Structure 1
Amino acid sequence: MLIIRKLILLLVFGCFCQLALGQQVVRYNISLKFTDSKQSYYIDLLELALKNTVEEFGAYKLEPVVIEMPQGRTAIMVEKSDLIDVTWRMTSQELEQSLSAIYWPLLKGLMGYRVFIIGKDKQEQFSQISVEEQLKILIAGQGSDWPDADILQANGYNLMRSPASGLLNMLEKGRLDYFPRALHEPWVEIAERDQFSVEKHIMLRYPAPMFFFVNKENHLLRDRLSLGLQRAFEQGDFEKLFQHHPITKNVLERAKIDERIVFELTNPLLSERALASIEKIQPYITH
């Protein structure tokens, strides 16, 4: 408890110092225990949005806050203005009611394009699947607090929820049959795990935009990120980052989506505004 209090005091003191220097401090959460290289994409995009708005909003400083916690907890901390100013999450109506969403899809809607991590000797089993009912018999694994779990369940999939950190171990032990992941995720996650492979035959697809979220009272950061992302999309900076970032580079080609059977799912969690956000970026998407 004493360590946490000291951390809070240091962060508050740091924020006052930065404000005195005329900088807007933007704090986000990272984990040291469960490092995730994919987060670098969102951090770079966050920096791009802030950089694009220096003229209107002034200097900024991105500040990582190291606290080990599940995904859902970060949203609660942003809602309470507790140590974190921004988070990035797949959206839902519930999340948009508690936080201010920046309605520019950070992955161009590709978060809802799902391929599977499977055991390395299981490809033949999945290659035999031709209709959705065959897949629904098998057990998918998803994080306990992930919106994807609710989406799969609403579409009638056989699902096991678990803390995200344990899903690959559950898959290895045979408690799961497959682990659906967004197009940019599986290859990074199993790069050093030879016991797994990325399934080659099937893809799930549902509308699932990924947004930045800030506290509802933080109008300054909301307006800054909204303007910064709009400029990034319209001026081509976003597309350049997406096409060349190590996390998203060649993601469509790598997944070979044209060679897959696609099962279309509905997303009951989406607001009309979130759905419209996917449509408005279509002119900027290149494949």
Structure 2
Amino acid sequence: MKRLASLLLISLGASSAWAANLSINFPVSEDGRHQFFQELLVESLKAAGHNVSLNGVDIPRHKRSYLFLESGKIDLLWMLPSAERDARFTRINQPLTRGLIGTRILLIPPGEESRFASINSLEDFKRTGMVGGFGGGWVDIAIWKANGLPTYEHNGEWNDLFRLVASKMRGIDYFPRGANEIGREAAMHSNLIIEPRLMLTYPADFHYYIARNRRDLIDALNTALPQAMKNGVYDRLYKQHLEPIARSLNLSERRNIKLELPAS
């Protein structure tokens, strides 16, 4: 009995030690695109027994956000995997959107739908010569080039691309956006519409990337996030935030043009 009591105390002590108090500097945006990733983070960690406090940090988009992560102003970001990102930060090896971010829908100027109406394959798309617009350094650029699709890389503020596509300047014909992003963005940019019948897909997804000095958060999420995929936390949040998006875009009825990832 004494041995059993000792083992129980050791077990309880280990569990208590593992239940961390985690203070997290979390990136937020005015348009609310962070909400799913924030709720998934917090509820996964809480379900695993951790105490979580969040400090919301307004950040610039894309390249400069890396500097926030490296400097410790924020503790994590959700991003598509790349060799550069894997070298600079620690990736939690759990996809986050069930491929929605790798399902690309096109924002186009109103009245341009007919240009896309006869596209049914990657070869059809390549023959049009139409150019997709991307922010500087985006992972998608290498994917588009690997599949023989023309690209325009904008090294200024990436939000300029909404205006550039709408004005038909610089020969940009469309702006491909993740299925989980495009509805919110189309509502914010009335000078663009969602192309109604195509989607371009590739086998990649967002992952949490964490600053290397946050070993406590890395260890906690490596355990908590896989658990959330099994205990109902992820399913509930996906149905609340992302499933309605997939339905509204009629993804099951769109022509799927599959893209290959670049050779590593």
* Short-chain TM bin: 0.7 to 0.9
Quick one: structure 1 residues 266 and 76, their matched pair in 2 at CA, closer, same or farther if it must change by over 3 Å?
farther
2:253 corresponds to: 259
Q: Rg larger in 1 or in 2?
A: 2
Matched-pair contact (CA < 8 Å) for 2:102–2:205: yes
2:119 corresponds to: 129
Rounded Cα–Cα distance in structure 1 between residues aligned with 2:42 and 2:175: 31
Matched-pair contact (CA < 8 Å) for 1:48–1:228: no
Matched, 1:157 2:149: yes
Cα deviations by residue, 1:200-224 (Å, 9 ceiling, x for unpaired): 1211110112111112342211111
1:75 corresponds to: 66
User: Unaligned regions of 5+ residues in structure 1, if any?
Assistant: 1-21, 271-287
Rounded Cα–Cα distance in structure 1 between residues aligned with 2:100 and 2:76: 21
* Number of equivalenced pairs: 239
- Write out aligned runs for 1:179-258 (5 A): 179-245=175-241, 248-258=242-252
User: Unaligned regions of 5+ residues in structure 2, if any?
Assistant: 1-19
Aligned with residue 64 of structure 1, among 53, 56, 68: 56
Rounded Cα–Cα distance in structure 2 between residues aligned with 1:120 and 1:45: 36
Q: Measure how far apart 1:269 and its partner are.
A: 7.3
TM-score normalised by L of structure 2: 0.83
Matched-pair contact (CA < 8 Å) for 2:27–2:77: yes
List structure 1 segments (4+ residues) > 6 angstroms apart after TM superposition: none
Q: Measure how far apart 1:91 and its partner are.
A: 1.1
Rounded Cα–Cα distance in structure 2 between residues aligned with 1:194 and 1:66: 25
Cα deviations by residue, 1:68-127 (Å, 9 ceiling, x for unpaired): x3313323442x343221111111122112211111111022211111111121112211
Cα deviations by residue, 1:130-178 (Å, 9 ceiling, x for unpaired): 3323423101111113211221122221111123211110011103211
Matched, 1:45 2:40: yes
2:245 is aligned with what amino acid?
V
1:139 corresponds to: 131
Rounded Cα–Cα distance in structure 1 between residues aligned with 2:219 and 2:33: 25
1:110 is aligned with what amino acid?
L
Rounded Cα–Cα distance in structure 1 between residues aligned with 2:222 and 2:98: 15
Matched-pair contact (CA < 8 Å) for 2:134–2:161: yes
1:230 is aligned with what amino acid?
P
2:23 corresponds to: 25
Aligned with residue 161 of structure 2, among 162, 167, 171: 167
Q: Percent identity?
A: 26
Rounded Cα–Cα distance in structure 2 between residues aligned with 1:49 and 1:97: 26
Cα deviations by residue, 1:45-76 (Å, 9 ceiling, x for unpaired): 1111221233xxx4221111234x33133234
SS of 1:262's equivalent in the other structure is strand
Matched-pair contact (CA < 8 Å) for 2:122–2:258: no
| RMSD (Å) for aligned C-alpha atoms | 2.0
SS of 1:156's equivalent in the other structure is coil
2:132 is aligned with what amino acid?
A
Matched-pair contact (CA < 8 Å) for 1:107–1:209: yes
2:82 corresponds to: 92
SS of 1:97's equivalent in the other structure is helix
